Amino acid sequence: MKILIIGGGNMGLTYGRSFVRAHITSRLDLRLLARSPERVPALALHDIGTVWGTPGECVPGADIIILAVKPQDSAALFASLGGLVQPSQLVISIMAGVRIDTIRQALGTPKIIRAMPNLPSQIGMGMTAFTSTDEVTRAELVQVQNLLSTTGKTVYVDDESAIDASTAISGSGPAYVYYCMGALMDAAAQMGFAPAEAELLVSQTFRGAVELYSQSGLSCAEWIAKVASKGGTTEAALKAFGAGAVREGLMAGAGAARDRAEELGK
């Protein structure tokens, strides 16, 4: 399978390494298109495939083309690909906010997948939601899911609007986790712990809590009930969270992220 990844940033390189490591493609069949000819030597140092500086020769022979550039660079990308992408080629876009109709009109191709990965994909612990046009066959969907699953878990959604929702939850979600971790680290520091001690206390607590949740069939509410005893310390903290509308604030933040994702797509 000949795969072309356009963009040599974190996600483009993450996909390239994952595909080769999973033996979905080989270094000989993996192509990377740099932003400009000047960036070819730096990208080639990663040694995960053949690197090109211009699209003319590397686009036509690809079975799958992955658009892994920043959304603000999409117009320039589309201009450079004009007339090169063929209807038989499968295009996968991970450009946040760039809608399928925009890609279809710009490239004139019917087979389009729009995917939203997140940062933990870099360590194989990612979460990716994806959707497709009707022209993508069931066999191709399975093929794409195998590709995306090399970086973690995947979920297929029928409605493209769910991609904006997943952007707000799993795409931006790691930042919410780091926000909460940072707040607890600051609290630990105020209570007298050294920075390294505060980091260990918080990071291991988050790691252990998530792993415990993943290995069980219990809900978040059920786990909270196991930790919070009547009149205890956890209950005191939860009451303070309620008084400060922490839960509502997190939900409102996710809603704001979804609204912004929808705005970027217009």
Kindly state whether residue 165 falls inside one of the protein's structural domains: no
State the CATH number of the domain containing residue 192.
1.10.3730.10
| Mean per-residue pLDDT over the chain, rounded | 93
- Whether residue 250 has pLDDT greater than 90: yes
Residue partners of 206: CB distance under 8 A and separation at least 6: 177, 181
39: pLDDT confidence band, cut at 50, 70 and 90? Answer: confident
Residues 129, 208 share a domain: no
Residues 90, 192 share a domain: no
Contacts 24+ apart (CB under 8 A), 113-120: 113/144, 114/160, 114/163, 115/144, 115/148, 115/163, 116/163, 116/166, 116/167, 116/170, 116/171, 117/11, 117/148, 117/151, 117/152, 117/171, 118/170, 118/171, 118/173, 118/174, 119/174, 120/152, 120/174
State the CATH number of the domain containing residue 29.
3.40.50.720
- Whether residue 42 has pLDDT greater than 90: no
Please give the pLDDT value at position 168: 93
Determine the residue type at 104. Answer: R
Burial (CB count within 10 angstroms: exposed 0-12, middle 13-18, buried 19+), residue 39: middle
- Whether residue 35 has pLDDT greater than 90: no
- Whether residue 119 has pLDDT greater than 80: yes
- Whether residue 261 has pLDDT greater than 90: no
pTM confidence score = 0.88
- Whether residue 86 has pLDDT greater than 90: yes
Domain boundary among 160, 188, 209: 160
Q: Give pLDDT tens digits for 144-157.
A: 999 999 999 999 99
Residues 138, 219 share a domain: no
Kindly state whether residue 167 falls inside one of the protein's structural domains: no
Residues 251, 224 share a domain: yes
Domain that holds residue 239: 173-264
Residues 156, 38 share a domain: yes
- Whether residue 265 has pLDDT greater than 80: no
**Counted domains in the chain:** 2
Residues 143, 18 share a domain: yes
Q: Give pLDDT tens digits for 173-222.
A: 999 999 999 999 999 999 999 999 999 999 999 999 999 999 999 999 99
Residues 123, 25 share a domain: yes
Kindly state whether residue 32 falls inside one of the protein's structural domains: yes
Please give the pLDDT value at position 264: 79
Is residue 95 within 8 A of residue 67, CB to CB? The reply is yes
Domain boundary among 102, 128, 160: 160
Kindly state whether residue 260 falls inside one of the protein's structural domains: yes
263: pLDDT confidence band, cut at 50, 70 and 90? Answer: confident
107: pLDDT confidence band, cut at 50, 70 and 90? Answer: very high
Kindly state whether residue 168 falls inside one of the protein's structural domains: no
Residues 126, 232 share a domain: no
Please give the pLDDT value at position 204: 98
As a whole number of angstroms, the distance between CA 226 and CA 208 comes to 15
Domain boundary among 107, 138, 160: 160
Average pLDDT over residues 74-86: 92
Kindly state whether residue 211 falls inside one of the protein's structural domains: yes
Average pLDDT over residues 166-172: 94
Residues 82, 206 share a domain: no
Please give the pLDDT value at position 23: 93
Residues 218, 155 share a domain: no
Please give the pLDDT value at position 80: 92
Residues 66, 88 share a domain: yes
Q: Give pLDDT tens digits for 5-34.
A: 998 888 999 999 999 999 999 999 999 998
- Whether residue 266 has pLDDT greater than 80: no
Residues 224, 101 share a domain: no
Give the distance between the most distant pair of CA atoms in the chain.
69
